[in-house]
Amino acid sequence: MTVCAIKGIAAHNNYNVTSVFTVKHFCLDLLSNSASESRGSSMDLRRSSFYSTLDLVPQLENYASTLPHQKSRSRPSLEALRKAFDVRFSTSGNHISQQLMRCMLNIWGVILFLRLTWIISQAGILLTCLIILMSVTVTSVTALSISAIATNGRVISGGAYFMISRSLGPEIGGPIGMVFSFANALACALNTVGFAEVFGVVMVDSVNDLRIVGVITVTVLLFISLAGMEWESKAQILFFTVLMVSFSNYFVGTFIPASLEKQAQGIFGYHSEIFMSNLKPDWRGPENNFFQMFAIFFPSAIGILSGANISGDLKDPATAIPKGTLMAIFWTTISYIAISVTAGSCVIRDASGNISDILSGNITDGCVGQGCKLGWNFTECIESNSCIYGLANSSKVPFNLVAISPLFIMKLTFDIFFYPISLSGLLNIFCFMFQCLCRDNIYPYIGFFAKGYGKNDEPLRAYILCYIIAVAFILIGELNIIASLISNFFLCSYCLINFSCFHASITNSPGWRPSFHYYSKWTALFGAVISVVLMFLLTWWAALITFSIIFFLFGYVNYNKPKVNWGSSVQAGTYNMALSYSVSLSGVEDHVKNFRPQCLVLTGPPNQRPALVDFVGSFTKHISLMICGDIITVSRSWLVKWMNKRKVRSFYTPFSAHSLRGGARHLLQASGLGKLKPNTLVLGFKTNWRDSSSESIEDYINTIYDTFDSNYCLCILRMMDGLDIFDQFEIDDISDKCDSDQIKTVFQNDQGKKTIDVYWIADDGGLTLLVPYLLTRRKHWRSSKVRVFIVGDEQNMEEGRNEMVALLKRFRLDFNDVIVMTDSEKRPHAKNLSRFVDSVAPFRLHDEQQDGISVEDLRQSAPWKISDKEFEAFKLKSERKVRLNEIIRRNSQHAALVLVSLPVPQSDCPRALYMAWLDTLTCGLHCPAVLIRGNQQNVLTFYCQ
């Protein structure tokens, strides 16, 4: 390869190759990156000239995985960077003109040519200018907000919907995407009806003629769209040129002396009398007023979003959208005001078009109207309301004022100009925006329209949907009604655009860094508020319907929680509120009324023990804090995905530690934020404790002891079949298992009218009663009856029961029955007691049977085992546990859940003996059992507290 050839390739790829040395390295660069270049354009090969020729400069494509439907580019390896060399490039492009022309062409629409002069005749020059300035105020503020949003990140296909959804999130972006897409379909209908109105074919009557021509027109547009629209963007310059010629002819025509034929049509050129008479309003008809005129005029301002809606076609939307949109607003405002003033200075309100109505001499007796002082008598048509010319009667005033043939300009403008504009609305605005919305999978049943065809990913199915909507509104056959509806929907869109900018600004998110600085959060808020006010002032019933639709769509998305993360300002706002409230809670003293069981659940991998997760979630979801603690040695970040898929409202907090006790200690001390800190530790019962190593069982029991020492509440869940469901899988396979199956546990099933039995043996502050109460507030447990078992004697049984019933009533807890256990003092059955003694035998030291060996020597190898003296000292307590288990098995075999007060061990209680107590209390049951203990602090209040 020669140097010249290499330079040619470099030039073709926009590189600036400065020397033979760099040419040689450029060749190596091309060879080493051929695969990379085949995946993208020449712009993908931008290099850093400071460190290495292969070293990429920071650019968007390296992070494209954060954008929807994009794949990130791979960076060169460190090994490849050792062979670096120098290649420079320079590219530039300015697409502001494309954005400017697009906006101006859409702003200069059907209202300008067919309704502006009629609005002047109704509202007068002053109020018309006020209407224009009010519209410009709304659109200018919205344009500033659009510019800020557009320059805060990459804007791809999807336009205004994409900007709003990625700024405010799917909850707001989804509804406004639907409404805004619908509004643009109406805009297509508006342009088509405007074309049909000018077409002027007489077939049936005026209304049906509009319908027939409109449907035929939009059908033709559909077939053109299906055939392809690649030529439309390239033809923008032609359209713009045609319109400039039309405007030039119009303004030249206002200075050319009017012929008798034009004067008969009410066109006289500049006259102070005409200007003064047209300065004030002349409302005709009870339905016509200032806000009605505003509603009809406002669709002329909707073109400000046309450039943003083709953001996917702009190479630099962050620059083109702000400059192009604001420049378009400025120049179109000048043109609208100029046309309003000139038309109001040259044309009277009413004229007959009849040359014979010219006055002979200066006789004006009985003459009515503006034409009297100008030598014309249009009294007859004015009094009979039969005038067909003048500002108030003819929609063709702008064409009749031009210097050359009105017919030529009319045909040239509407036949060539409005066809592609309607087509543009049909294609670029509605279809691609709606396609983007469909691909986000926010709403059901619309994914059908997401499919694209051809190399340009044409949304052919969306074309057909837009066609159906447009035809439905074309059949209305009235331009003013369609214009009023469009004003309502676009004002709603502008409201949410401005609100999204305001919301993103007030959240103070570090990610909100628009390069466009000429905006204010307060002007954005003003734009949002004034848009809402105008909606209700224009058409209050349409505003109510629109907001009802918005709230319905918002409620659906908010309830459904789509699995998307766009880094929206809603997320930033949620963080701000959570941080603010968390900090404010730190300064508030605890009160028993506000107690919530905030649980640290030592689940290990949560998906390995779903019953433990579901149990705690049953009484903490939407109520209090839940943290799933996992003492790990390897990363298991995929568990967050499992919890989200299972709709578990919990934090996942993995912590690396060498032992359960060490990790639990850290989590007990460090978990949470301020008052959002756990106060309850939840464990799964170690069913295989007898077969576990001495280190493992001692670690488990010491964790329980540490919990009591830390003044935490404690809750231990025992499932008779065990908690672990993935014992048969390797730990590396659990992530695959959790993605494919969601195993349902008993806590997710409807319990029907089964009972929840609470054995409130010890007063722990009320946690033992609070947890079952919270459970019964859930749908699956709502029908369960709660029974409370208490200890008492037979002589005072009724009195004890009444006292407990009264206490529960004062606690405002709806429990179904209170049962007094009068036989709890009896000795347990011999076989059950014998079974308990046999179960702890492997964990006894049997020191009294061994000569010459002290207890201290025996404890050196097994410090957690039970000496004979300790066994005898705690014998009575052991018998009580066995007896309580007998009572529980007798009364609660068919219960849905059993809760038993957890005994608090004395400091000298052997670990193994305490573990045997817990095992004994809950063995032999066919339902889940919970050993629970509060920290002796009140968690329930009386009604008077």
pLDDT digits (tens, 9 = 90+) for 368-389: 888 888 888 888 888 888 888 8
**Is residue 50 in a domain?**
no
Instruction: Mark 150-169 as b/e (b = at least 16 C-beta within 10 Å).
Output: bbbbbbbbbbbbbbbbbbbb
pLDDT score, position 930: 93
Q: What is the 3-state secondary structure (H, E, C) of 530-596?
A: HHHHHHHHHCHHHHHHHHHHHHHHHHHHHHHCCCCCCCCHHHHHHHHHHHHHHHHHHCCCCCHHHCC
Q: How far is the C-alpha of 858 from the C-alpha of 860, rounded, in Å?
A: 5
Q: Are residues 708 and 658 in the same domain?
A: yes
Q: What is the dihedral of CA 482, 483, 489, 490, to 10 degrees?
A: 150
Instruction: Pick the range with the lowest mean pLDDT from 87-91, 277-281, 306-310.
Output: 87-91
Q: Are residues 435 and 533 in the same domain?
A: yes
Residue 707 burial (C-beta neighbours within 10 Å; 0-12, 13-18, 19+): buried
| Residue the block writes with tokens 């083109």 | 320
Q: How far is the C-alpha of 716 from the C-alpha of 612, rounded, in Å?
A: 9
Stretch 354-366: mean pLDDT: 80
Cβ partners under 8 Å of residue 132, min gap 6:
297, 333, 336, 337, 340
Q: How many CB atoms lie within 10 A of CB 598?
A: 20
Asked if 344 and 244 touch (Cβ cutoff 8 Å), the reply is: no
* Average of per-residue pLDDT values in the chain: 77
CA 675 to centroid of chain Cα atoms:
29
At 698, which CATH number?
3.40.50.720
Q: Are residues 312 and 416 in the same domain?
A: yes
At 837, which CATH number?
3.40.50
pLDDT at 533 over 90: yes
- Give the count of alpha carbons within 13 A of 897, CB side only: 30
At 298, which CATH number?
1.20.1740.10
Q: How far is the C-alpha of 199 from the C-alpha of 193, rounded, in Å?
A: 10
Measured CA to CA in angstroms, residue 334 lies from 113, 143, 299, 337, 762 at distances of 16, 17, 17, 5, 84
pLDDT at 852 over 60: no
pLDDT at 406 over 90: no
Q: Are residues 716 and 794 in the same domain?
A: no
Is residue 15 very low, low, confident or very high in pLDDT (cuts 50, 70, 90)? very low
pLDDT score, position 62: 46
Final residue belonging to a domain, choices 509, 540, 560: 560
Q: How far is the C-alpha of 475 from the C-alpha of 216, rounded, in Å?
A: 12
Token duo for residue 47: 């290099």
Q: Are residues 389 and 510 in the same domain?
A: yes
Q: How far is the C-alpha of 596 from the C-alpha of 800, rounded, in Å?
A: 29
Mind listing the pLDDT tens digit for each residue in 611-622?
898 899 888 888
Q: How far is the C-alpha of 64 from the C-alpha of 61, rounded, in Å?
A: 5
pLDDT score, position 623: 84
Stretch 39-53: mean pLDDT: 42
pLDDT at 80 over 60: no
Stretch 693-715: mean pLDDT: 83
Token duo for residue 702: 């010491």
**Is residue 59 in a domain?**
no
Q: Are residues 762 and 692 in the same domain?
A: no
**Is residue 33 in a domain?**
no
Is residue 285 very low, low, confident or very high in pLDDT (cuts 50, 70, 90)? confident
CA angle 387, 391, 395 (to 5 degrees): 90
pLDDT score, position 734: 45
Number of domains in the chain: 3
Q: What is the extent of the structural domain holding 610?
A: 594-725
Closest CA to 770 of 715, 711, 710: 715
CA angle 834, 836, 842 (to 5 degrees): 105
pLDDT score, position 81: 47
Q: How far is the C-alpha of 460 from the C-alpha of 397, rounded, in Å?
A: 39
| Residue the block writes with tokens 């504009």 | 421
pLDDT score, position 228: 61
**Is residue 882 in a domain?**
yes
Asked if 758 and 788 touch (Cβ cutoff 8 Å), the reply is: yes
Is residue 527 very low, low, confident or very high in pLDDT (cuts 50, 70, 90)? very high
pLDDT at 436 over 50: yes
Q: Are residues 419 and 275 in the same domain?
A: yes
Closest CA to 84 of 111, 47, 131: 47
Helix (H, G, I), strand (E, B) or coil at 792: coil
**Is residue 125 in a domain?**
yes
The backbone region for 787, taken as left when phi is positive above 0, alpha when psi lies in -120 to 50, beta otherwise, is beta
pLDDT at 861 over 70: no
Q: How many CB atoms lie within 10 A of CB 206?
A: 10
Distance in angstroms between the alpha carbons of the first and the last residue of the chain: 91
Mind listing the pLDDT tens digit for each residue in 632-658?
755 566 677 777 778 787 777 777 777
Stretch 153-161: mean pLDDT: 66
Residue type, 574: T
Q: Are residues 643 and 792 in the same domain?
A: no
pLDDT score, position 717: 93
Q: How far is the C-alpha of 620 from the C-alpha of 678, rounded, in Å?
A: 12
pLDDT score, position 727: 45
pLDDT at 492 over 70: yes
Residue 471 burial (C-beta neighbours within 10 Å; 0-12, 13-18, 19+): middle
Choose from 19-28, 53-62, 319-328, 584-593 the range with maximum mean pLDDT: 319-328
Q: Are residues 790 and 646 in the same domain?
A: no
Closest CA to 442 of 341, 564, 594, 318: 564
Q: How far is the C-alpha of 759 from the C-alpha of 745, rounded, in Å?
A: 24
Q: How far is the C-alpha of 533 from the C-alpha of 674, rounded, in Å?
A: 42
pLDDT score, position 39: 36
Cβ partners under 8 Å of residue 854, min gap 6:
847
**Is residue 799 in a domain?**
yes
Angle of the 236-255 helix axis to the 317-346 helix axis, nearest 10? 20
Residue type, 870: E
**Is residue 74 in a domain?**
no
Final residue belonging to a domain, choices 725, 740, 774: 725
Stretch 628-635: mean pLDDT: 71
Tell me how long the chain is: 945
- Of the chain, the percentage scoring pLDDT greater than 70 comes to 75
Cβ partners under 8 Å of residue 618, min gap 6:
747, 774, 775, 778, 780, 781
Token duo for residue 355: 């040359």
- Of the chain, the percentage scoring pLDDT greater than 90 comes to 11
pLDDT at 84 over 70: no
Closest CA to 123 of 343, 324, 279: 279
Token duo for residue 742: 């969601």
| Residue the block writes with tokens 């209202």 | 111
User: What single DSSP character describes residue 53?
Assistant: E
The kind and range of the H/E element at 694 are: helix 694-709
Q: Are residues 783 and 636 in the same domain?
A: no
**Is residue 743 in a domain?**
no
Instruction: Pick the range with the lowest mean pLDDT from 189-198, 716-725, 926-935.
Output: 189-198
Q: Are residues 780 and 642 in the same domain?
A: no
Final residue belonging to a domain, choices 540, 560, 580: 560
Pairing of strands 680-684, 599-602: parallel
pLDDT score, position 8: 39
Residue 52 burial (C-beta neighbours within 10 Å; 0-12, 13-18, 19+): middle
Stretch 826-844: mean pLDDT: 87
Q: Are residues 165 and 249 in the same domain?
A: yes
Instruction: Pick the range with the lowest mean pLDDT from 61-65, 194-198, 324-328, 480-484.
Output: 61-65
Determine phi and psi for 804, rounding to 5 degrees: -70, -40
Is residue 66 very low, low, confident or very high in pLDDT (cuts 50, 70, 90)? very low
Helix (H, G, I), strand (E, B) or coil at 386: coil
